[in-house]
């Protein structure tokens, strides 16, 4: 039930170019309707790097109209990731800058090694984050601090990222360089025993509710809760509780 999507463009530090975005979009699209998928982990196969952001060597060769198209594609692909119906975890075992951090921000949960480096550094290039960073970072760590990090293009390590709420878990890096990935796997395994329909609906209720006032959010919760009432998952969960045994969910 756990799907791992690994970035492996080692010669370019996993920088996002047209081809990589195309492959990411195709992979995410395949996951949307796969009922066997319970959690998705985004990680890097390249030691010391999560994603260095957009491929500036490719971008500098683009016409201005191409740049707009590229940024739109990056934004759309990362939105597709954010809209996956199942929990998503970013395992940040190395550097995540610019679009790399925007990719991680689109995940539900972020885990990072203490040695990892993260930042939205676009203002150094006289541009701004264009793939969701100006919207998701404030929603994650608060408006004032997000402005400070974007205005300064500051890079933080895993410890500071945890202290400001940018990530949920920080771990000491191991010799294999995959400590964050291992922690992400442990989290994913915590999710697996739960009702699959309930997990999808819970994510939907939280995501939609965070964008509206409380009264509307409670109405969204009510509508989402109603979706779980007739499911086989819910019946199995209640039976398991009554019989004092682990539930055996098959998914729907």
Quick check: 105 and 89 in contact, CB under 8 A? no
Active site residue 237: no
Catalytic residue chosen out of the listed positions 102, 106, 188, 198: 102
Catalytic residue chosen out of the listed positions 53, 94, 112, 122: 122
Catalytic residue chosen out of the listed positions 15, 52, 54, 112: 54
Catalytic residue chosen out of the listed positions 53, 94, 98, 99: 99
Quick check: 16 and 96 in contact, CB under 8 A? no
Active site residue 66: no
Active site residue 30: no
Active site residue 102: yes
- How far is the C-alpha of 76 from the C-alpha of 130, rounded, in Å? 11
Alpha helices in the chain (DSSP H): 18-32, 56-59, 64-82, 99-105, 133-141, 143-152, 158-163, 179-191, 196-209, 214-226, 232-243
Catalytic residues: 54, 99, 102, 122
């Amino acid at each position: 039930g756990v799907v791992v999507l690994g970035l492996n463009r080692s010669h370019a530090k996993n920088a996002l170019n047209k081809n990589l975005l195309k492959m990411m979009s195709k992979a995410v699209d395949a996951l949307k309707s796969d009922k066997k998928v319970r959690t998705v982990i985004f990680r890097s196969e390249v030691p010391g790097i999560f994603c260095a952001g957009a491929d500036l060597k490719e971008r500098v060769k683009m016409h201005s109209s191409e740049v707009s198209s590229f940024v739109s594609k990056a934004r759309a692909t990362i939105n597709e990731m954010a809209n996956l119906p199942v929990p998503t975890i970013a395992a940040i075992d190395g550097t995540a800058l610019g679009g790399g951090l925007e990719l991680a921000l689109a995940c539900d949960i972020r885990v990072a090694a203490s040695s990892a480096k993260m930042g939205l550094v676009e203002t150094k290039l006289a541009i701004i984050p264009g793939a969701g960073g100006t919207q998701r970072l404030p929603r994650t760590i608060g408006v004032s601090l997000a402005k400070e990090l974007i205005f300064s293009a500051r890079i933080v390590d895993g410890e500071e990222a945890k202290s400001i709420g940018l990530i949920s878990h920080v771990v000491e890096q191991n010799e294999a360089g995959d400590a964050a990935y291992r922690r992400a796997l442990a989290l994913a395994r915590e999710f697996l025993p739960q009702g699959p329909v309930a997990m999808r609906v819970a994510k939907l209720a939280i995501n939609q509710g965070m964008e509206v006032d409380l009264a509307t959010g409670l109405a969204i919760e009510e509508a989402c809760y109603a979706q779980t009432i007739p499911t086989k998952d819910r019946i199995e969960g209640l039976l398991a509780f009554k019989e004092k045994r682990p539930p055996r969910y098959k998914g729907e």
